């Protein structure tokens, strides 16, 4: 069946202000986010049925139903009028639990990728709304440009002119889950 490969980018917060705690347990934030040139590689293969998610090179990333990508794939397949499934393979290059949005980026990439592959034609705004149910950073990755993100990350404003910034990413072997 049909196979497509996607690059799933990392992000950094150039500024992160944690504001008040909300009644839903989240915090209101104000962030300046930008994509960086570190990518996970994702392969999506349309199959006859079912959903499988496998990360081949990072034991910290769950496979199957415990991966955020599984839920996103299930959701977007429900919007399709096709009776198909998908096998998803993830090769991690973005450090896990490093605050670079790897899982959210993977979810956004699969959401947008399957939207295109299956010709569902949901708008970017609709994909951002779906993505928000899976993680606060997912809408930013669907937006796909330097932005100021407010609220829990769901109110996004484009930064019109972002300077190129050289940076070095250091990821010590210390996991800091964002939850």
Residues 96-121: pLDDT tens digits? Answer: 888 899 999 999 999 999 999 999 99
Show Cβ contacts of residue 23 under 8 Å, excluding neighbours closer than 6 positions: none
Residues 18-36: pLDDT tens digits? Answer: 999 999 888 899 999 999 9
Identify the band that residue 79 occupies on the pLDDT scale cut at 50, 70 and 90: very high
The confidence score (pLDDT) of residue 35 equals 95
Answer yes or no: are the C-beta atoms of 11 and 159 closer than 8 Å. no
Residues 28-63: pLDDT tens digits? Answer: 999 999 999 999 999 999 999 999 999 989 998 999
Q: Determine whether 158 is an active site residue.
A: no
Predicted model pTM: 0.92
Output the CA angle 81-89-39, nearest 5 degrees: 110
The confidence score (pLDDT) of residue 164 equals 86
Distance CA 15, CA 113 (A): 29
The confidence score (pLDDT) of residue 179 equals 62
Distance CA 45, CA 43 (A): 7
Say if strands 51-55 and 147-151 run parallel, antiparallel, or are unpaired. Answer: unpaired
Residues 124-178: pLDDT tens digits? Answer: 999 999 999 999 899 999 999 999 999 988 899 999 998 888 888 887 777 766 6
Q: Which residue among 40, 92, 137, 154 is the active-site one?
A: 137
The confidence score (pLDDT) of residue 96 equals 86
Q: Determine whether 11 is an active site residue.
A: yes
Q: Which residue among 2, 11, 74, 179 is the active-site one?
A: 11
């Amino acid at each position: 069946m049909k196979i497509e490969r996607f690059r799933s980018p990392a992000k950094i917060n150039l500024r992160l202000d944690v504001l008040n705690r909300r009644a839903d347990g989240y915090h209101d934030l104000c962030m300046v986010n930008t994509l960086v040139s570190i990518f996970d590689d994702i392969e999506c293969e349309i199959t006859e049925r079912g959903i499988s998610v496998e990360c081949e090179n990072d034991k910290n990333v769950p496979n199957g139903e415990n991966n955020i990508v599984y839920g996103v794939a299930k959701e977007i397949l429900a919007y399709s009028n096709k009776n198909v499934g998908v096998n998803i393979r993830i090769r991690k290059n973005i450090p896990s639990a490093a605050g670079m949005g790897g899982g959210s980026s993977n979810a956004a990439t699969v959401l947008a990728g399957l939207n295109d592959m299956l010709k569902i034609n949901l708008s970017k705004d609709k994909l951002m709304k779906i993505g928000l149910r899976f993680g606060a950073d997912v809408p930013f990755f669907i937006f796909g440009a330097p932005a100021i993100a407010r609220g829990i990350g769901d109110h996004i404003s484009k930064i019109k002119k972002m300077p190129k910034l050289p940076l070095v990413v250091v990821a010590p072997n210390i996991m800091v889950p964002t939850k």
